[in-house]
Amino acid sequence: MKQFKVKFLSNSIEKSIVGKATFAPVESGHKSDFILFHLDEIEVGSGYAAIVVTNVFNSISKLTGHVVLIDQKEIEHFNYGDVISIEKNGVIRVIYKKTSLCAFLVVTERCNCACIMCPNPVVIKDDEKVISTLKAIPLIDKDIKLLCITGGEPTLIGDKLIDVINACKQNIPQTELILMTNGIHLEDFNYVKEIVSIKHQNLAITIPLYSDIDMDHDYIIGARGFYKTIKGLHILESFGQRIIIKILIHKLNYKRLFQMAEFVCKKFCSVRNIVFMQMETSWREFTTEKEKKNIEELYVDPYDYSNNLERSVLYLNKKGIDVVIYNLQLCVLPTTIWEHAKKTPSWESVYIDECYGCYYKKNCYGFLPASLETRSRHIKPLQK
């Protein structure tokens, strides 16, 4: 989620301003739903949620309402139809990009874990994001395919999470909705009951499992959460809620992928979706030295666990479980599991020199732009 610091805000705001970006005056309809990027001195009228300018025009004094000044170079980050918020602390956030295949709603940056691979700083309070999210949902395009509610840890906003899910049901009911949570708070039966009672027909809840061994899982998340998460999964099962279990692969668990696959099959009879993800290092440039060290210690070449992953995927497939593999290139995977390798819908793939001339490039995930520094030593072009 991109965000920018404004240079000037004409009037102080008590609550966040949320609207759709437009680069031309709105002739009719609800002007208050739009944030106008006013790039010249044409008369624009009033009634917009806010007006964004890049220059102090002679006529700026004629503009009414909230006028925001930003750098000219930042304009390229906005498109017509983007849903953006202007926070009372003077930050502009892009909540939803119209050009994206899916959207991520960050409802909080607080978390009840301290995962050793997580780059996010500790946040004490940020309820403003919940307010912005609830304002943004009605403005998101109705035909968006996928929407993810994430954080931080979304369940930390309590009953406001119920409001967010319900708003999605009311405004974009056909969109697949993914709640990404660590599952710890889902040990509360009544809380799960509230979520399920919304009856969102396209809701799936994604919960990570880092190990089938309690101490290993808890060491990775930096909290005592293994048994709470397992309890939460069982409660979700009892309500018939669709669950996706995510297994993030790194050096601390790659040798036990098959045992984890067996664990899921034995413990959770109704789970029908499992995602394997190679740990990305795309946040490397934003981390502290300690976090960089953790990432380097956790990274494992996908080629080193490819056979173990193959065994696990084929086992789960025979059990009738839909398996998806994200963030892995085809050249490091056995051909028997290629059909499970997918491109993540939220990122645009890039390719390196070794990819050119590869017959299967168009079907391959490729790389995230910022994750090229750490990659498998076995990347190579493949022939038909």
pLDDT in tens, 83-120: 999 887 788 889 999 888 788 999 998 999 999 888 77
In a domain, 63, yes or no: yes
User: Is 43 within 8 Å of 27 (Cβ atoms)?
Assistant: no
**pLDDT level of residue 286 (50, 70, 90 thresholds):** very low
Looking at 6-10, 68-72, 268-272, which range is the least confident one?
A: 6-10
Q: Answer with the one of 39, 66, 86 that is the final residue of a domain.
A: 86
Instruction: Based on the fold, state whether residues 106 and 82 are members of the same structural domain.
Output: no
Share of the chain above pLDDT 90, in %: 58
Q: Please report whether residue 381 resides in a domain.
A: no
Q: Of 65, 86, 107, which residue is a domain's last?
A: 86
Residues 21 and 149 in one domain: no
Q: What is the DSSP letter of 214?
A: H
Strands 50-53 vs 67-69: parallel, antiparallel or unpaired: parallel
Give how many domains the chain has, as a whole number: 2
Average pLDDT over residues 303-321: 97
Residue 274, classed as helix, strand or coil, is: strand
> Quick one: pLDDT at residue 113?
94
Contact between 133 and 85 (Cβ < 8 Å): no
Q: Is 106 in contact with 129 (CB distance < 8 Å)?
A: yes
Do residues 68 and 91 touch, judged by C-beta distance below 8 A?
Answer: no
Residues 142 and 8 in one domain: no
User: What is the tens place of the pLDDT at every residue in 43-57?
Assistant: 777 789 988 888 765
What confidence tens digit (pLDDT) does each residue in 253-264 have? 999 999 999 999
Please tell me which residue, 363 or 285, carries the higher pLDDT value: 363
pLDDT number for residue 231? 98
Residues 67 and 138 in one domain: no
Residues 109 and 250 placed together within one structural domain of the fold: yes
Specify whether 212 is located in the same domain as 350.
Answer: yes
Q: Looking at residue 284, what is its pLDDT? A: 46
Out of 29-38, 64-73, 189-198, 297-306, the most confident range is 189-198
d(CA 110, CA 150): 11
Structural domain range at position 207? 97-371
- Alpha helix (H) residue ranges in 137-252: 159-171, 189-197, 214-221, 226-238
Do 49 and 171 share a domain, yes or no?
A: no
128 pLDDT more than 80: no
